[in-house]
Amino acid sequence: MSTLNPCFFITIMVLTALRLAAAPPPPQRPIKNTVEQAEAEPYPDSDDFDLGTRHYNKYLMDVVSVLDGDEHGKKLLQEMSQIDIALGNFTKDFKLKSKEAYEQLNQLKSDELERLRHLMKTQQGIPNDLTDHIDTNKRHFDNADLILLLQKTIKDIDEKRKEAFKNYEMEKAYNKTKMLEKMSPEQKIEFQKAEKDHENKRQLDEKKNPTHEPGSKEQLVEVAEEKDHLENFDPKTFFHLHDLDGNGLWDEDEIGVVIQNEVDKRFPPNDPTVDPVEKEEFRENVKDDILNEVDTNKDLFISLNEFLKDYNEPETHDANKPEEHTTLYSPEEYQDMVEERERLFDRHLTTMNINQLRQNDNSTINHHEQQQLENNRV
């Protein structure tokens, strides 16, 4: 984040997405590679509009493609900072080199507004945030439209990451259930014993090396003593020590370094049972939580003043209270997933059976034709 501007990634990745279909996004914070994770899909037809898709995706890619093709537009993308995007800084000069680029962007916006009007007239259940990615108060395209578009994309990809993780956890629970169903009673007892032994070991490790709430005073002091070898904790010194690029701010990568010891406690690097997807999701959620609490001006960075203000405030959490494990999905959501899985499996079996019957029929016909040829020769 601190070394490469995210809008540079947006330019490169959107142009790549115009040629290649993007893979399902891995769980990671979206602001780094915002449009790398956007699927290169055309607008759905209005009559077949799926409210679950990122419906403005083509508009996003077309806009960035036009800007990237203009000398001044490309520079605007490269110089636009995360603070501009996060705070909605609309004051930048929006100057392009070519008149054609202005006309193309204005036409793209006009087409998008017309598409949205048509959707609102013809579709039921339109979401309230349908127009969050575009400034509907004026016809021409300017910097406000660009920032709204990037803000909306960042928000949607972050939500998609969380939804993908929820689905991952449901699939994992389903696969475990199916695996246990196939086990013999002896195998099931052995498996459950291994699970219990692993949990007992985890609790023993927790007693030897207690976890702390990431970002708490206890956790920061532990990092300072064990990782940084500081004898006396000084919050200002600690902040500057972990300001790795020296720009006076902590970005999400630098926050990640600070909390790494707590991530490793919960997901030991040498433990073969650790789920890397869950580990990464935990890391991202912790960084989000710290930014939400400490980053008071919401620029996606933590300044020294913000850090000191948060550090000097009394902590409200109980350091000895065990962590609460929130449920990612409801029983109803899980049951819907199971029914969908079984429906797809039944369809797959039906298709296989039909193909097998066709293959058998073809074999019978071929055998009959071969027999006819033999009879004719005789």
Asked whether residue 152 falls in the same domain as residue 63, the answer is yes
Asked whether residue 234 falls in the same domain as residue 342, the answer is no
Q: pTM higher than 0.85, yes or no? A: no
Radius of gyration of the chain (CA): 28
Cα torsion 127, 130, 131, 134: sign: positive
Asked whether residue 342 falls in the same domain as residue 261, the answer is no
What is the predicted pLDDT for the residue at 338?
92
Q: What would the pLDDT profile of 182-214 be if each residue is shown by its tens digit?
A: 999 999 999 999 999 999 998 999 899 999 999
Which amino acid does the sequence have at 196? K
Asked whether residue 285 falls in the same domain as residue 341, the answer is no
Asked which of 259, 281, 312 is the last residue of a domain, the reply is 312
Query: Is residue 306 domain-resident?
Result: yes
What is the predicted pLDDT for the residue at 299?
81
What is the predicted pLDDT for the residue at 15?
39
- When pLDDT is cut at 50, 70 and 90, the band that residue 33 belongs to is very low
Asked whether residue 336 falls in the same domain as residue 262, the answer is no
- When pLDDT is cut at 50, 70 and 90, the band that residue 49 belongs to is very low
Asked whether residue 26 falls in the same domain as residue 134, the answer is yes
Q: What would the pLDDT profile of 309-363 be if each residue is shown by its tens digit?
A: 999 998 765 544 445 556 789 999 999 999 988 888 778 777 766 666 666 655 5
- Concatenating the DSSP letter of every residue in 258-308 gives HHHHHHHHHS-TT-TT--HHHHHHHHHHHHHHHHHHH-TT-SS-EEHHHHH
- The continuous run of DSSP H or E covering 249 comes out as strand 249-250
Q: What would the pLDDT profile of 129-143 be if each residue is shown by its tens digit?
A: 888 999 999 889 988
What is the predicted pLDDT for the residue at 349?
72
Query: Is residue 1 domain-resident?
Result: no
C-beta separation of 36 from 8 below 8 A? no
Asked whether residue 15 falls in the same domain as residue 149, the answer is yes
Asked whether residue 140 falls in the same domain as residue 247, the answer is no
Asked whether residue 274 falls in the same domain as residue 366, the answer is no
Query: Is residue 137 domain-resident?
Result: yes
Domain that holds residue 375: 330-378
3-state secondary structure of 250: strand
- Concatenating the DSSP letter of every residue in 100-134 gives HHHHHHHHHHHHHHHHHHHHHHH-SS--TTTTTTS
- Concatenating the DSSP letter of every residue in 38-92 gives S---PPPPGGG--TTS-TTHHHHHHHHHHHHTSHHHHHHHHH--HHHHHHT---S
Cα torsion 5, 8, 14, 17: sign: negative
